[in-house]
């Protein structure tokens, strides 16, 4: 399933903006609170200093000294004394200038305050700002008059604030600064994450996640499998693997576009993730292949899980209908803890290969016999290397005769191969191995060159037929390489026949058509081999200009002389080929009765053990100079 890289998700740009707004709000709120607290303290101070001034003005003797500091006078009633620890009295002249020591810190009395004091008898209370971090100080100015009522001076009454007032203000300021600092620190941490940690983690996550399907990539899946198989871990003793392959994804891409193929890949990944447990892991290990790691699985459980996945995918997967519809094949294997991850993956892949061999949409479990088959396959692939140079690969030639008189008209070149010990390897083994390993291109072109060079020594009216693998048509330079072979050898193209099978015609039709048209333009002949055994379709015969139609040997292997149906099928194929202007060849002729039957059905040419098994180049040349073996004449019907 999709990896979860971290438990905590840092905010994005919107979250950063929200944090910035919170920090601004906290800072503003702190300033407002400070101002509110300071204003409240100032109001209390003004009220209490005014009250104190009223009390003192009723006892003039208390201010006669012009300067006095200390505890509140004992003459004040306790119930009337404001809550000040001490008072200060300062003197000013009639112009508001300070006249007592220590009063200079207040400076001159404000003119507006001086005017209010000079014209009235009541105390005038004002606020004096203090250093930052301290609340404003309330000062009461009391007029001093002589007996005539003239102003003789001014007494400034300053009450020292209670320590709690300043402490409260400092607490509020520190709290606000602390909250603002905390928000700023969070912003710095988030910015650091977004600038450095997040891109780094994103790069790490991107290095483990498949960008298209959002599941593990091959490397991360391999690491997860190794962890599950680690004997030092605390997991269950078995680990199940599901190897899931999308059949013919390239056909879906060609029919509906690559976007449809991408959608199908994402849908398969989503279906796998949804069907597996929380502790299971899914990874895309190749273009069209996924692997699921299922700790604690059993063979029976994996089989049931695979069947459920198949049913869900058939029901829910997008795609197109018809031949281009994609399906999935699944192979499964149960590994034991302690087994290596590459070995476990290899066996799951073998099971998948077996499932695909059963047909599209198959499911198969790994079994020990698949390991033996894989070892044989690897041995064959190793034997292919240097096979031409070592002489272990060579060409044999099987005669093709005219149906009328059994005269040899040409030979089909056939590859034969031996292993390092000289034991023969069947073409049904080494040809598929060469196609899987990609060696078929070089092997096929070398076979063509050698066949042409050998046929150069034959009589000018004899042709050579060479098989082309469907895999060779995937190369864009196929036509150019064939043309180069003809040019380098000087061999007449009219004497060269290239055989292709019906399976070639399924897939990239545009590329195949271009290659077939290009080959025909060289002047050589094209033969459709094994007709009737693969994806036989009359449309192929109309779309592609084949010169020869070869009826597969299976029609003769199951032929019954007592049933007219077999003869009628062969006759219809032959008639179809001739009507389309093609030479009709019957393969697998082994008995005289078969030869006579085919001759009566108007086959043009025949090939089979009755006329000769595949032989060496020297023996093929000898056969061409010998007189043809006499056969009883057969009356051929006119069409």
**Which of 589, 587, 584, 581 has the alpha carbon at shortest distance from 602?**
584
Residues in CB range of 613: below 8 A, 6 or more apart: 398
Could you give the C-alpha distances from 3 to 207, 294, 467, in angstroms and in order?
12, 15, 50
**Which of 168, 157, 160, 165 has the alpha carbon at shortest distance from 84?**
160
**Which of 305, 345, 335, 332 has the alpha carbon at shortest distance from 219?**
345
Residue 563 has pLDDT above 90, yes or no: no
Q: What is the DSSP string of 544-589?
A: S--SEEEE-THHHHT--TT-HHHHHHHHHHHHHHHHTT-EEEEE--
**Which of 492, 526, 388 has the alpha carbon at shortest distance from 444?**
388
Q: What are the structural domain ranges in the chain?
A: 15-168, 218-367, 384-625
What is the Cα–Cα distance from 606 to 587, expressed in whole angstroms?
6
The predicted structure's pLDDT at residue 441: 93
**Which of 231, 205, 230 has the alpha carbon at shortest distance from 220?**
205
The predicted structure's pLDDT at residue 136: 67
Residue 345 has pLDDT above 80, yes or no: yes
What pLDDT band is residue 125 in, cutting at 50, 70 and 90?
Answer: confident
The predicted structure's pLDDT at residue 330: 93
Lowest-confidence pick of 51-55, 193-197, 247-251, 498-502:
193-197
Q: What are phi and psi of 607, to 5 degrees?
A: -150, 135
Higher pLDDT, 536 or 27: 27
Strand partners, 529: 501
Residue 394 has pLDDT above 50, yes or no: yes
Could you give the C-alpha distances from 72 to 51, 88, 114, 157, 165, in angstroms and in order?
13, 10, 26, 12, 19
Beta carbons of 209 and 281 less than 8 angstroms apart:
no
The predicted structure's pLDDT at residue 156: 80
DSSP letter at 628 equals P
**What are the structure tokens assigned to 45, written together?**
């101070």
Give Cα 392 to chain centroid, integer Å: 44
The rounded percent of the chain whose pLDDT value lies above 90 is 35
Q: What is the pLDDT of residues 271-305, one digit of tens each?
A: 888 888 888 999 999 888 999 999 999 999 999 99
Residues in CB range of 518: below 8 A, 6 or more apart: 478, 479
**Which of 17, 155, 164 has the alpha carbon at shortest distance from 83?**
164
The predicted structure's pLDDT at residue 79: 44
Is pTM beyond 0.75? Reply is: no
Q: Which helix (H) or strand (E) holds 464?
A: strand 463-467
Max CA distance (Å), the chain: 172
Q: What is the pLDDT of residues 462-506, one digit of tens each?
A: 999 999 998 998 888 999 999 999 999 999 999 999 999 877 666
Percent helix, strand, coil in the chain (nearest 5)? Answer: 50, 20, 30
What is the Cα–Cα distance from 223 to 227, expressed in whole angstroms?
6
Please tell me whether residue 38 adopts helix, strand or coil conformation: helix
Q: Give 96-163 as a 3 state SS string.
A: CCECCCCHHHCCCCCHHHHHHHHHCCCCEEEEECCCCCCCCEEEEEEEEECCCCCEEEEEEEEEECCH
**Which of 414, 386, 391, 410 has the alpha carbon at shortest distance from 400?**
410
Residue 65 has pLDDT above 80, yes or no: no
**Which of 171, 228, 143, 184 has the alpha carbon at shortest distance from 41?**
171
The predicted structure's pLDDT at residue 358: 84
Q: What is the pLDDT of residues 212-269, one digit of tens each?
A: 888 999 999 999 999 999 988 888 899 999 999 988 787 777 777 888 888 888 888 8
Q: What is the pLDDT of residues 501-558, one digit of tens each?
A: 877 666 667 788 889 999 999 999 999 987 866 555 566 777 778 999 998 887 777 6
The predicted structure's pLDDT at residue 557: 74
The predicted structure's pLDDT at residue 315: 75
Higher pLDDT, 167 or 599: 599
Q: Which helix (H) or strand (E) holds 494?
A: none
Mean pLDDT within 614-631: 83
What pLDDT band is residue 639 in, cutting at 50, 70 and 90?
Answer: very low
Beta carbons of 205 and 3 less than 8 angstroms apart:
yes
Residue 141 has pLDDT above 70, yes or no: yes
What is the Cα–Cα distance from 111 to 109, expressed in whole angstroms?
6
What pLDDT band is residue 97 in, cutting at 50, 70 and 90?
Answer: confident
Higher pLDDT, 134 or 442: 442
Residue 232's Cβ-count burial label (10 Å; 0-12, 13-18, 19+) is exposed
Residue 398 has pLDDT above 90, yes or no: yes
What is the Cα–Cα distance from 330 to 22, expressed in whole angstroms?
55
Please count the other Cβ atoms lying within 10 Å of the Cβ belonging to residue 241. 26
Assigned superfamily of 15-168: PAS domain (3.30.450.20)
The predicted structure's pLDDT at residue 202: 47
The predicted structure's pLDDT at residue 431: 94
Higher pLDDT, 178 or 476: 476
Structure-token match 């959002």, residue found: 214
DSSP letter at 66 equals S
What pLDDT band is residue 38 in, cutting at 50, 70 and 90?
Answer: low
Please count the other Cβ atoms lying within 10 Å of the Cβ belonging to residue 48. 20
Residues in CB range of 401: below 8 A, 6 or more apart: 407, 408, 409, 605, 606, 607, 611, 628
Residue 293's Cβ-count burial label (10 Å; 0-12, 13-18, 19+) is buried
Beta carbons of 143 and 135 less than 8 angstroms apart:
no
Beta carbons of 294 and 241 less than 8 angstroms apart:
yes
Assigned superfamily of 218-367: Reverse transcriptase/Diguanylate cyclase domain (3.30.70.270)
DSSP letter at 193 equals I
CATH architecture of residue range(s) 384-625: Alpha-Beta Barrel (3.20)
How far separated are the first and last CA of the chain, in Å rounded? 67
Give Cα 403 to chain centroid, integer Å: 60
Give 218's Cβ-side CA count (13 Å radius). Answer: 7
DSSP letter at 214 equals S
The predicted structure's pLDDT at residue 491: 96
Beta carbons of 340 and 279 less than 8 angstroms apart:
no
The rounded percent of the chain whose pLDDT value lies above 70 is 71
Q: What is the DSSP string of 412-435?
A: EEEEEEE-TTS-EE-HHHHHHHHH
**What are the structure tokens assigned to 68, written together?**
């006095």
Q: What is the pLDDT of residues 103-124, one digit of tens each?
A: 545 667 888 888 888 887 778 8
What is the Cα–Cα distance from 287 to 249, expressed in whole angstroms?
9
What value does the mean pLDDT of the chain take? Answer: 80
**What are the structure tokens assigned to 132, written together?**
């930052």
Q: Which helix (H) or strand (E) holds 276?
A: none
What pLDDT band is residue 56 in, cutting at 50, 70 and 90?
Answer: low
Higher pLDDT, 622 or 541: 622
Instruction: Please report the beta strands in 322-389, taking only residues with DSSP state E, as ranges in sequence order.
Output: 327-336, 363-365
What is the Cα–Cα distance from 248 to 266, expressed in whole angstroms?
16
Mean pLDDT within 298-314: 87
Q: Which helix (H) or strand (E) holds 187?
A: helix 163-192
């Amino acid at each position: 399933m999709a990896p979860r890289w971290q438990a905590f998700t840092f905010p994005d740009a919107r979250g950063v903006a929200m944090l910035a707004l919170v920090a601004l709000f906290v800072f503003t709120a702190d300033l407002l609170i400070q101002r509110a607290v300071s204003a409240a303290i100032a109001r209390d101070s003004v009220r209490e200093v005014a009250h104190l001034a009223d009390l003192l003005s009723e006892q003039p003797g208390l201010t006669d000294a012009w300067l006095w500091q200390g505890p509140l006078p004992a003459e004040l009633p306790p119930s009337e004394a404001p809550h000040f620890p001490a008072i200060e009295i300062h003197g000013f002249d009639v112009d508001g200038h300070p006249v007592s020591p220590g009063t200079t810190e207040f400076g001159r009395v404000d003119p507006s305050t001086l005017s209010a004091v000079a014209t009235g008898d009541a105390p005038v209370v004002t606020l004096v700002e203090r250093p930052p971090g301290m609340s404003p100080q309330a000062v009461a100015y009391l007029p001093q008059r002589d007996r005539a009522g003239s102003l003789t001076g001014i007494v400034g009454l300053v009450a020292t604030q209670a320590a709690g007032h300043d402490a409260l203000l400092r607490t509020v300021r520190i709290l606000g600064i602390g909250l603002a600092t905390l928000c700023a620190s969070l912003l710095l941490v988030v910015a650091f994450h977004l600038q450095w940690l997040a891109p780094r983690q994103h790069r790490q996550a991107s290095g483990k996640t498949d960008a298209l399907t959002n599941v593990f990539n091959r490397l991360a899946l391999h690491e997860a499998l190794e962890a599950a198989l680690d004997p030092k871990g605390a997991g269950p003793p078995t680990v199940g693997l599901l190897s899931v392959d999308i059949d013919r994804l390239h056909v879906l891409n060609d029919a509906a576009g690559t976007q449809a193929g991408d959608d199908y890949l994402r849908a398969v990944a989503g279906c796998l993730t949804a069907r597996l447990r929380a502790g299971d892991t899914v990874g895309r290990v190749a273009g069209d292949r996924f692997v699921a790691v299922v700790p604690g699985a059993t063979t029976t459980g994996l089989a049931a899980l695979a069947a459920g996945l198949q049913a869900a995918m058939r029901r829910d997967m997008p795609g197109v209908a018809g031949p281009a519809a994609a399906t999935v094949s699944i192979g499964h294997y149960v590994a034991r803890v302690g087994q290596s991850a590459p070995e476990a993956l290899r066996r799951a892949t073998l099971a998948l290969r077996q499932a695909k061999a059963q047909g599209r949409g198959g499911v198969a479990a790994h079994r020990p016999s698949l390991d033996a088959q894989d070892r044989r396959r690897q041995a064959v692939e190793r034997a292919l290397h240097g096979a031409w140079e070592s002489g272990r690969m060579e060409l044999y030639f099987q005669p093709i005769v005219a149906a009328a008189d059994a005269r040899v008209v040409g030979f089909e070149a056939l590859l034969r191969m031996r292993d390092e010990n000289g034991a023969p390897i069947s073409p049904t083994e080494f040809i598929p191995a060469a196609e899987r390993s990609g060696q078929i291109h070089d092997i096929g072109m070398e076979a063509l060159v050698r066949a042409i060079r050998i046929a150069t020594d034959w009589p000018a009216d004899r042709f050579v037929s060479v098989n082309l693998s469907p895999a060779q048509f995937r190369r864009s330079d196929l036509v150019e390489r064939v043309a180069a072979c003809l040019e380098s050898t000087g061999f007449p193209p009219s004497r060269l026949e290239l055989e292709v099978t019906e399976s070639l015609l399924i897939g990239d039709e545009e590329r195949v058509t271009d290659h077939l048209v290009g080959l025909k333009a060289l002047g050589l002949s094209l033969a459709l081999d094994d007709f009737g055994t693969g994806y036989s379709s009359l449309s192929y015969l109309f779309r592609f200009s084949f010169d020869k139609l070869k009826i597969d040997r299976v029609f003769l292997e199951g032929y019954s002389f007592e049933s007219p149906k077999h003869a009628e099928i062969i006759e219809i194929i032959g008639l179809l080929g001739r009507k389309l202007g093609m030479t009709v060849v019957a393969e697998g002729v082994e008995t005289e009765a078969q030869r006579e039957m085919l001759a009566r059905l108007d086959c043009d040419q025949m090939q089979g053990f009755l006329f000769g098994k595949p032989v060496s180049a020297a023996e093929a040349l000898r056969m061409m100079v010998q007189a043809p073996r006499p056969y009883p004449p057969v009356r051929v019907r006119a069409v």
